[in-house]
Amino acid sequence: MLKLNKKRVQSGDTIIEVLFAITVFSLVAVGAMAIMNQGSSASQRALEISIVRQEVDAQAEALRFLNSSYLAAYQLGSNEPAANTPAGQWAEMMDTVVSTGSTSASNFSVEGTECPSPPQGSFIINAKRAMFVEPSQGAIVPAQTFSQVRYDLVNGQSTVVAADGIWIEAVRSRTVEGNNQSDAGYIDFHIRACWSTMGSAIPVLVGTIVRLYEPR
């Protein structure tokens, strides 16, 4: 009587099991890449906001310096400081602010995916030299990457090439007879920045307000 040797038969994975495994692996890989992209976008956005805030702070400090210089010259009786001095730059800036005649700031909000346009009379400060950059020079342009003031050396001096998505709006106080602050004589400088960032269809807005007083 012949004895038959039984051999263990090992069956392989079916095509359905292979496809299921590939599908699971693909979902995990895609999810991991999406999380990595979100993390990279968040890091990039945080870095841009930090840099732009430094630019805004630099503009605010330059405004305070120009104002302090003018107040010091005013106390010394110099009503017409030299144009190439910080006090003279403040006086020149005030001439532009008065001629613009703004009594309120523009609407600082995003409509759709576009940054708001700087209103007429908006300007910028050369923070490296504490110089007023007139609106007529057309230095304010839409941001190419993020909001920043770009400089270049011209004859050994830092000159503003462009203000990418960053500008200043000056709003003078209203003088109302009988109001306790009718003689306050202050100016609110709205420093604003707007740019498109990676991973978001809505632009980023950063802004602050600096209130400075005029001598009376």
DSSP string, 166-208: EEEEEEEPP--TT-TTTT--EEEEEEEEEE--TT-SSPEEEEE
The predicted pLDDT at position 65 comes to 96
Question: What stretches in the chain show pLDDT beneath 70?
Answer: 1-13, 32-39, 78-79, 174-184, 216
Amino acid at 65: F
Of all residues in the chain, the percent with pLDDT exceeding 70 is: 83
Phi-psi region of 199 (alpha: psi -120 to 50; beta: other; left: phi over 0): left
Of all residues in the chain, the percent with pLDDT exceeding 90 is: 45
Nearest to 125 by CA among 115, 137, 117: 137
The predicted pLDDT at position 8 comes to 53
The predicted pLDDT at position 155 comes to 87
Per-residue model confidence as pLDDT tens digits over 52-67: 999 999 999 999 999 9
DSSP string, 49-110: HHHHHHHHHHHHHHHHHHHHHHHHHHHTT-SS--TTSHHHHHHHHHHHHHHHT--SPPP---
Q: Which two tokens stand for residue 38?
A: 């979100």
Q: Which two tokens stand for residue 42?
A: 């968040």
Per-residue model confidence as pLDDT tens digits over 93-128: 998 888 887 878 999 988 888 899 999 899 999 999
The predicted pLDDT at position 216 comes to 67
